[in-house]
Structure formats: C-alpha cells, structure tokens
Structure 1
Amino acid sequence: MSESELPTAPRLFPDDAAIRRIGEGLLARTLPRADWTHEAHLAATTWLVRDRRDIDVERDIAAIISSYNVAVGGVNDDAGGYHDTITRAYLAGVRAHVAMRDAAEPLVDCVNALLASPAGSRDWPLRCYSRALLFSVPARRGFVPPDLAPLPVPC
C-alpha cells in the first residue's frame, strides 16, 4: 500500500460551535468551499439529524447540498458534485449512530465518535456497495440499493 493509500485519521471537532458553524454555513450557502470536507459532511448531517428536527433531511438533503455546491462555484453533473447514493448511505449510517447515542450528550462527542468509528471512514460505503455500482452515474443521480450488504437501519 502506498503512502497516499494509507488511511488518514479523521479531523475531529473541538466543540459544538464548530459543528454548528459547518451546518449553518451549509444551509446558508456561506461555508467556504475548503471547509466542506468529509468530516464536515458527516458533522453537518449529524447536526441536521440530531438537532434540526424542523428539517426533513431525507426529503431536503439533495437540494441542500446541491444548492450549496452551486453557490460555491461547483457543479452537480454526471462527474461531480452531489452524489445521491453516497449521501443517502452516510445518512443511514448517521441515523444508526445517533440512535445508539445518548440524546443528552454534547454534539461534539456524538460527531467525533462517528468520525472515529468505521461508519465515519471515507471508504465506509464500499462495505455495502461494489466500487463499480457506487461510482456509477445512476448512483450519483439517484439512490441505488446496495449490492454487497444492507445499509444500517436506525435502532
């Protein structure tokens, strides 16, 4: 395995405020593009699921991320931008993670525990999907069911 293929440790968040800044910046489309990392995706999704019950995440996540991508100069096409299957796979993982946590724990503890878990890794969806299916245009454009293993179900 080359050095570039070695897994990297997740960048953890210092406090709840840092996570809320990511989530609020995503919703307002003001988050700097450089801050929209893998960890930020999972932190924002966890915040939305856990703390923003006024938002129907399953219904709205595609529009939230797609409009953010456009606002920061990105595109949503067959090769880049919003990827529906990856987003929905991680959303299932986030929901399962949140369901197992104490609802009173600090948001930062919930997010950092997710990031440190297998479900927080960058390659986690490949436990449920073949690479060919996950990175196909149909999977980017809409949700496709996994072909290797079922997605987690919240408890």
Structure 2
Amino acid sequence: MTDLPYRPFADDAAIRRIGEGLLARTLPRADWTHEAHLAATLWLVRERPDIDVDSSISTIISRYNESVGGVNDDSQGYHDTITRAFVAGIRLHLRGRPADEPLVEAVNALLASPPGRRDWPLGFYSRTLLFSVAARREFVAPDLAPLPAV
C-alpha cells in the first residue's frame, strides 16, 4: 500500500492497457480513475501521433463513458474544460521530459507533479466557472489565470 496522494503505475504495460482499453472501450469502469485519465492522455499525446488528441479526446472519452453505462449530460460524464486543462498540463509536463524516458516514469512523474493533482485546474478557474454546465459542455477560457501555452 502507498501513502502517496495518487496511485502510481507499475510499468509501461499497465499504462498501455489503460490507453488501449479506453480506445477499444473495453477498460473496466472501475479502472477509469483520475490517474487512468492522465496516463491514457499522456500515452495518447506521446505515443499515438496518429490520433489528434485536441480534436478527438471528447469523442474518445464520451464514447468510452457510454460504453460502460455512463451518461454525458449537464451534470455527469465527459467534462470538456477539465479535460482540456489537463491536456495542457500534460503537454507542459512532457515538454520538460526526455523523449526516450520510459512511459511509466513520465506518467508517475506527472502524477507526482502539480499538473497531475486533481485540483490543478482550480489554479486557473474559479470553482463556479469550472463546474458550470457551460464548462462541462465545451471549453471555456480560464477566469483566474491563463493555462500554460505549450
């Protein structure tokens, strides 16, 4: 058991299983944690250049949610602004990492860093704006500070 505020991944294969399960819509719902969201997205950005994360991430996650019985509506399921904020954080994180670094090291370092924290988007957004229906449905610009440009 770990005392860390996040659950680290054991190896590259565990991360690829999450990413591939997301794409194939075969990942068990219980495995779709905060850490899994970040790991899958980092894997997509770094190892799947055939997928345009910016134009596809909403469809990928929304369809996955529906495949496991979830609903994407005004109060649950896919949240566009939170997702896109974390994509910006992942890109910022990767910018400072060696390209040949093992995937597990890049992901676990992300989880241990500020952009890996569950509350990281609240450094850019007020709680009211971030958790609004508008922000869930589509990306809204931050109201406290700009997201990092990468």
TM-score range, shorter chain: over 0.9
State the alpha-carbon separation in 1 of the partners of residues 54 and 27 from structure 2.
21
Question: What's the offset of the Cα at 1:152?
Answer: 1.2
Partner deviation per Cα, 1:56-99 (whole Å, 9 max, x = no partner): 00000000000000000000000000000000000000011111
State the alpha-carbon separation in 1 of the partners of residues 102 and 128 from structure 2.
38
| Structure 2 residue 42 is the aligned partner of structure 1 residue 40 | no
Question: What's the offset of the Cα at 1:126?
Answer: 0.2
Give the counterpart of 2:58 among 58, 62, 68. Answer: 62
Gaps of 5+ in 2: none
Q: Which amino acid aligns with 1:76?
A: N
State the alpha-carbon separation in 2 of the partners of residues 129 and 13 from structure 1.
29
State the alpha-carbon separation in 2 of the partners of residues 17 and 149 from structure 1.
36
Question: Equivalent residue for 1:149?
Answer: 145
TM-score (norm 2): 0.97
Partner deviation per Cα, 1:112-151 (whole Å, 9 max, x = no partner): 0000001100100000000000000000000000000111
TM-score (norm 1): 0.94
State the alpha-carbon separation in 2 of the partners of residues 18 and 80 from structure 1.
27
| Percentage of identical aligned residues | 73
Question: What's the offset of the Cα at 1:100?
Answer: 1.1
State the alpha-carbon separation in 2 of the partners of residues 25 and 133 from structure 1.
31
Give the counterpart of 1:107 among 83, 103, 109. Answer: 103
| Mapping for residues 65-104 of structure 1, pairs under 5 Å | 65-104=61-100
State the alpha-carbon separation in 2 of the partners of residues 152 and 13 from structure 1.
26
Partner deviation per Cα, 1:12-61 (whole Å, 9 max, x = no partner): 00000000000000000000000000000000000000000000000000
| Structure 2 residue 4 is the aligned partner of structure 1 residue 12 | no
**Number of matched residues?**
148
Give the counterpart of 1:128 among 124, 136, 145. Answer: 124
| Structure 2 residue 44 is the aligned partner of structure 1 residue 53 | no
State the alpha-carbon separation in 2 of the partners of residues 10 and 32 from structure 1.
19
Runs of 4+ aligned structure 1 residues displaced above 3 Å come to none
